[in-house]
C-alpha cells in the first residue's frame, strides 16, 4: 500500500511517500524552491518524488494531510467568540489571507495542486485529514520502542498545543491535551519576536539563553502556572495572545517587568540575554514538570518527544537527566517538516491496523544525486575536480579538517528535518578555539553566540559528554565532561553544553569514516558539524552546493567521490 502524505498553505510544505509502512522518500519544498519555511504547494517535491520512484497517481492508494479542518475551524471560532470583542485583534488584516487559506483552503489547495501536476483524476478528490497532534504522535510507529509515552508540544495544532499519548505496538491512545492557548511553543515564539528576532528563530534564542544570567528568571515564571498532575496554564492576566494574537502577545506588565521590545537592528544587551535565559529556564521547568508527571502516570521508561518544542535540545537533555525516563527519543523531523510522514504513519498503523516493521534509525530519506548529475553540475560551473576512491577521499578530507580547513561535505540522500546530519554538512576541526569565529566570518555570517555541533563516533559519546544514550539526530545538549573540554573548545557552548550528534558506522559509513580518520590523526573522535548553507535552506542539489561553495570562503568541496578546491570557474 502506497500512501502520500502532503501539506501546503502552512509553513514547511512538503510530502512523504510511505510504501507498506516504510518511507521511501520524504521531502521539504524549501530545499527545492530555496524559500525557508515555504507555504507554497510542493510542486518541486512532488516531481522529484514521483520521478525518482517512477510513480504515477494511479500508484497511490491514499492521500493524507496532517490537519483536520473541522477541528481547526471549530477551535478558531470559539477562540474568537469567547474573547469578543478584544479577540478580533487576533485577526489583523495582514493575517486574514493566511488564516483563510489555513481554515478553508488546505484540503482544496492540495487537490488543486495535485490536479495541476497530474491532471483531473478521481483519486485526488478524497484526502484523509489527520489531526495535527495525532500526526506528530504517529512518529512513535517509527521509533525504536515497542512501548513508550509520547509527548507532543508545539505552537498549536488544530485543537491543542500539548498532548500526551501512550504508544504500544501499532496503536496510540491519547491521555490528555491542553487548551490551544496554553502553549509553551507560542510563548517561546512570542518572546523570540519580542527579542527582535525573525520568525522561526527560536533556536537562536535558545543559544542566546546560554549567555544570560537568572536576573529575570523568577519573574518570568509568573507567566506559566505549574499545576498538579503535570498540568500547567499560561497566566492570562499577563498574556494577551488569546485576544491579540501575534500583534500584541504581552500585556503592559511584561514591558514594565522586562523592558521594551528589542528592535531587529538594536545591539543585543545584557537585558536581552537575561530575558532569553528567563524564557529558556521557564520552558525547561515546565517541560520537566510535564514529563515527571507523565512518567508517574504511565510506567514506561521510554519517552518519544515530538512537535516543534522538541527541537529544544537543552530542554530535552534536562528530561533525560532530571526525570525517571531511561531513554528519550526525538526524531530528526520533530517539527512540522515531519507532519506529512506522521499523517501517513497514523493512517497506516492507527486507522488501518497494519503491524509495524520500520525503524527510523537514520535521517537520509531525501533526494540523492548520481555521479553523472554531479559531474554535469561541476562542468556547468567550470570547476576542475578530482575523483577519488573511498580510502583516499576519507584520508584527504580528514587531513584537511585536521589542518584547519573548512570542508563542504555533500553525500548521498539529503536529511529529513531541519538539521544537517552528515550528508549536507560543513565540517571543521573542533580542537581550534577560534574555528567557530572563522566559520562565521568566512561562511555562515550568523550571530557569534550560536554554537556548532560536535559529531562524535557513537561508541565514544559517554567518554566526552555527560550522556549515556546515543543521539544520531542532534536533539540533545548534554554537558561536556570537564576533562575533555580542552580537546574540543569550538564545539562547546558558553554554558558548558554541546548539541551533539552520535554517528554510527552502519547508518552513515562515509561520515563515520571521516571522523574515524580524523581520530587516527588527532586522537579526537569528534568533528565540528554545521549545516551546509548560507542563511538559506540547507543545500539540496549539487548545483546548490557549488553555489554556496563559491559564495563563501570554504576551502574544500566534496561532492560524493569528487574533490574540489578550484574557486575560479572557467566558463564552458
Res 264: pLDDT: 93
pLDDT above 70 covers a percentage of the chain that reads 94
| 343 and 382 fall within a common domain | no
Query: Does residue 153 fall inside a structural domain?
Result: no
Res 78: pLDDT: 63
Judge residue 239's burial from the number of C-beta atoms within 10 Å of its C-beta, 0-12 exposed, 13-18 middle, 19 or more buried: buried
φ/ψ of 415, rounded to 5, equals: -75, 150
φ/ψ of 49, rounded to 5, equals: -65, -45
pLDDT grade for 114, boundaries at 50, 70 and 90? confident
Cβ neighbour number for residue 194 with a 10 Å cutoff: 21
Reported as a single tens digit per residue, the pLDDT across 502-544 is 999 999 999 999 999 999 999 999 999 999 999 999 999 999 9
| 410 and 527 fall within a common domain | yes
Name which residue leads in pLDDT, 407 or 468. 407
φ/ψ of 514, rounded to 5, equals: -65, -45
Cβ neighbour number for residue 382 with a 10 Å cutoff: 12
85 preceded by cis ω (within 30°)?
Answer: yes
Query: Does residue 141 fall inside a structural domain?
Result: no
| 448 and 537 fall within a common domain | yes
pLDDT grade for 423, boundaries at 50, 70 and 90? very high
Specify the CATH number for the domain of residue 289: 3.30.420.40
Query: Does residue 209 fall inside a structural domain?
Result: yes
Query: Which of 330, 359, 382 is where one domain is finished?
Result: 330
Q: Which three cell numbers stand for residue 380?
A: 556547468
pLDDT above 90 covers a percentage of the chain that reads 84
Query: Does residue 477 fall inside a structural domain?
Result: yes
Q: Which helix (H) or strand (E) holds 374?
A: helix 371-381
DSSP string, 141-208: GGSS-SEEEEEEE-S--SS-SEEEEEEETTEEEEEEE--TTS-HHHHHHHHHHHTTPPTT-HHHHHHH
Query: Does residue 87 fall inside a structural domain?
Result: yes
| 126 and 197 fall within a common domain | no
Please, which residues bridge with residue 329 across strands? Answer: 304
Alpha carbons 136 and 124: distance in angstroms, whole number: 24
Alpha carbons 156 and 307: distance in angstroms, whole number: 9
Laid out side by side, the sheet with 327-329 consists of 171-177, 162-168, 147-153, 302-306, 327-329
Residue 493, domain extent: 371-564
Name which residue leads in pLDDT, 325 or 124. 325
Reported as a single tens digit per residue, the pLDDT across 322-354 is 999 999 999 999 999 999 999 999 999 999 999
Does residue 140 have a pLDDT over 70? yes
Reported as a single tens digit per residue, the pLDDT across 359-411 is 999 999 999 999 999 999 999 999 999 999 999 999 999 999 999 999 999 99
Does residue 270 have a pLDDT over 80? yes
| 295 and 431 fall within a common domain | no
| 394 and 302 fall within a common domain | no
Lowest-confidence range among 92-96, 209-213, 445-449? 92-96
Reported as a single tens digit per residue, the pLDDT across 63-86 is 999 999 888 888 777 666 666 666
pLDDT grade for 90, boundaries at 50, 70 and 90? low
pLDDT grade for 119, boundaries at 50, 70 and 90? confident
Res 89: pLDDT: 63
Name which residue leads in pLDDT, 249 or 145. 145
Alpha carbons 461 and 329: distance in angstroms, whole number: 16
Domain count, the chain: 3
Q: What is the pTM of this model?
A: 0.94
DSSP string, 135-158: HHHGGGGGSS-SEEEEEEE-S--S
CB 542 within 8 A of CB 377: yes
Judge residue 390's burial from the number of C-beta atoms within 10 Å of its C-beta, 0-12 exposed, 13-18 middle, 19 or more buried: exposed
Res 94: pLDDT: 46
C-alpha pair distances (Å), 457 with each of 41, 249, 442, 503: 39, 44, 27, 5
Does residue 466 have a pLDDT over 70? yes
φ/ψ of 404, rounded to 5, equals: 90, 10
Q: Tell me if residue 448 falls in helix, strand or coil.
A: coil
Lowest-confidence range among 90-94, 292-296, 463-467? 90-94
Res 101: pLDDT: 45
Q: Tell me if residue 320 falls in helix, strand or coil.
A: helix
| 496 and 470 fall within a common domain | yes
DSSP string, 394-440: HHHHHHHHHTT--EEEE-SSPPSSSS--SSEEEEE-TT-TTHHHHHI
| 346 and 378 fall within a common domain | no
Specify the CATH number for the domain of residue 503: 3.90.870.20
CB 103 within 8 A of CB 80: no
| 343 and 294 fall within a common domain | no
Res 558: pLDDT: 98
pLDDT grade for 244, boundaries at 50, 70 and 90? low
Alpha carbons 251 and 272: distance in angstroms, whole number: 18
Average pLDDT over residues 227-232: 94
Mean pLDDT of all residues belonging to the chain: 93
Res 95: pLDDT: 47
Alpha carbons 265 and 268: distance in angstroms, whole number: 9
Res 96: pLDDT: 45
Alpha carbons 205 and 199: distance in angstroms, whole number: 11
Q: Tell me if residue 124 falls in helix, strand or coil.
A: helix
Query: Does residue 51 fall inside a structural domain?
Result: yes
Does residue 126 have a pLDDT over 90? no
DSSP state of 481: P
Query: Does residue 317 fall inside a structural domain?
Result: yes
Does residue 550 have a pLDDT over 90? yes
Rounded to 10 degrees, the C-alpha dihedral 5/9/10/13 comes to 50
From the list 397, 429, 404, the residue with the least C-alpha distance to 511 is: 397
Q: Tell me the chain's radius of gyration from C-alpha atoms.
A: 23
Please, which residues bridge with residue 128 across strands? Answer: 64
| 14 and 125 fall within a common domain | yes
Q: Residues with Cβ < 8 Å from 328, sequence gap 6 or more?
A: 303, 305, 316, 319, 320, 469, 476
| 196 and 321 fall within a common domain | yes
| 287 and 376 fall within a common domain | no
97: left (phi over 0), alpha (psi -120 to 50) or beta: alpha
Query: Which of 292, 316, 351 is where one domain is finished?
Result: 351
From the list 419, 423, 422, 451, the residue with the least C-alpha distance to 338 is: 419
Alpha carbons 429 and 434: distance in angstroms, whole number: 10
Cβ neighbour number for residue 173 with a 10 Å cutoff: 13
From the list 404, 371, 378, the residue with the least C-alpha distance to 557 is: 378
CB 124 within 8 A of CB 63: yes
Query: Does residue 154 fall inside a structural domain?
Result: no
CB 451 within 8 A of CB 499: yes
Q: Which three cell numbers stand for residue 353?
A: 491496523
Res 84: pLDDT: 63
Average pLDDT over residues 210-230: 97
Reported as a single tens digit per residue, the pLDDT across 426-435 is 999 999 999 9
Amino acid at each position: 500500500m502506497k500512501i502520500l502524505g502532503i501539506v501546503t498553505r502552512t509553513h514547511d510544505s512538503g510530502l512523504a511517500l510511505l510504501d507498506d509502512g516504510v518511507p521511501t522518500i520524504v521531502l521539504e519544498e524549501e530545499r527545492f524552491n530555496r524559500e525557508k519555511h515555504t507555504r507554497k504547494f510542493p510542486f518541486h517535491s512532488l516531481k522529484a518524488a514521483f520521478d525518482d520512484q517512477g510513480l504515477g497517481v494511479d500508484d497511490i492508494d491514499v492521500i493524507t494531510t496532517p490537519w483536520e479542518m473541522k477541528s481547526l475551524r471549530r477551535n478558531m471560532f470559539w477562540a474568537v467568540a469567547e474573547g469578543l470583542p478584544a479577540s478580533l485583534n487576533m485577526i489583523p488584516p495582514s493575517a486574514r489571507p493566511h488564516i483563510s487559506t489555513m481554515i478553508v483552503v488546505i484540503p482544496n489547495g492540495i487537490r488543486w495542486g495535485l490536479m495541476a501536476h497530474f491532471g483531473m483524476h478521481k483519486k485526488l478528490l478524497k484526502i484523509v485529514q489527520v489531526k495535527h497532534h495525532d500526526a506528530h504522535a504517529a512518529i512513535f510507529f517509527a521509533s525504536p520502542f515497542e512501548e513508550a509515552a509520547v509527548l507532543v508540544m508545539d505552537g498549536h495544532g488544530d485543537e491543542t498545543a500539548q498532548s500526551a499519548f501512550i504508544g504500544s505496538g501499532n496503536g496510540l491512545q491519547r491521555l490528555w491535551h491542553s487548551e490551544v492557548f496554553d502553549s509553551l511553543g507560542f510563548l517561546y515564539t512570542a518572546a523570540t519576536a519580542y527579542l527582535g528576532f525573525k520568525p522561526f528563530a527560536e533556536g537562536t534564542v535558545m543559544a542566546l539563553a546560554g549567555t544570560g544570567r537568572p536576573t529575570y528568571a523568577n519573574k518570568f515564571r509568573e507567566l506559566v502556572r505549574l499545576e498538579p498532575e503535570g498540568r500547567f496554564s499560561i497566566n492570562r492576566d499577563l498574556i494577551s495572545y488569546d485576544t491579540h494574537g501575534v500583534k500584541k502577545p504581552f500585556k503592559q506588565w511584561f514591558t514594565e517587568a522586562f523592558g521594551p521590545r528589542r528592535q531587529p537592528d538594536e545591539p543585543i544587551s545584557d537585558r536581552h540575554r537575561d530575558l532569553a535565559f528567563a524564557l529558556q529556564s521557564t520552558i525547561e521547568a515546565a517541560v520537566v514538570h510535564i514529563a515527571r508527571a507523565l512518567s508517574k502516570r504511565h510506567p514506561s521508561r521510554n519517552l518519544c518527544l515530538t512537535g516543534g518544542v522538541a527541537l529544544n535540545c537543552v530542554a530535552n537533555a534536562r528530561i533525560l537527566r532530571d526525570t525517571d525516563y531511561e531513554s528519550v527519543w526525538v526524531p530528526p523531523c520533530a517539527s512540522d517538516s515531519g507532519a506529512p510522514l506522521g499523517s501517513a504513519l497514523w493512517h497506516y498503523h492507527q486507522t488501518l491496523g497494519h503491524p509495524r516493521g520500520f525503524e527510523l534509525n537514520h535521517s537520509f530519506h531525501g533526494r540523492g544525486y548520481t555521479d553523472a548529475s554531479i559531474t554535469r553540475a561541476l562542468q556547468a560551473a567550470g570547476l576542475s575536480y578530482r575523483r577519488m576512491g573511498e580510502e583516499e577521499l576519507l584520508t584527504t578530507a580528514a587531513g584537511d579538517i585536521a589542518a584547519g580547513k573548512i570542508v563542504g561535505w555533500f553525500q548521498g540522500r539529503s536529511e529529513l528535518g531541519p538539521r544537517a546530519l552528515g550528508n549536507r554538512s560543513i565540517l571543521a576541526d573542533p580542537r581550534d578555539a577560534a574555528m567557530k569565529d572563522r566559520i562565521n566570518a568566512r561562511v555562515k555570517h550568523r550571530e557569534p553566540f550560536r554554537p556548532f555541533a560536535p559529531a562524535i563516533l557513537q561508541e565514544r559519546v559517554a567518554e566526552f559528554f555527560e550522556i549515556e544514550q546515543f543521539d544520531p539526530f542532534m536533539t540533545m545538549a548534554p554537558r561536556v565532561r570537564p576533562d575533555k573540554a580542552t580537546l574540543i573548545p569550538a564545539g562547546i557552548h558558553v554554558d558548558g553544553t554541546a548539541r551533539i550528534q552520535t554517528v554510527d558506522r552502519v547508518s552513515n559509513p562515509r561520515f563515520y569514516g571521516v571522523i574515524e580518520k580524523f581520530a587516527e590523526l588527532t586522537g579526537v573522535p569528534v568533528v565540528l558539524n554545521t549545516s551546509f548553507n548560507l542563511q538559506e535552506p540547507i543545500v539540496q542539489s549539487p548545483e546548490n552546493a557549488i553555489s554556496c561553495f563559491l559564495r563563501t570562503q570554504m576551502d574544500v568541496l566534496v561532492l560524493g567521490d569528487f574533490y574540489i578546491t578550484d574557486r575560479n570557474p572557467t566558463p564552458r
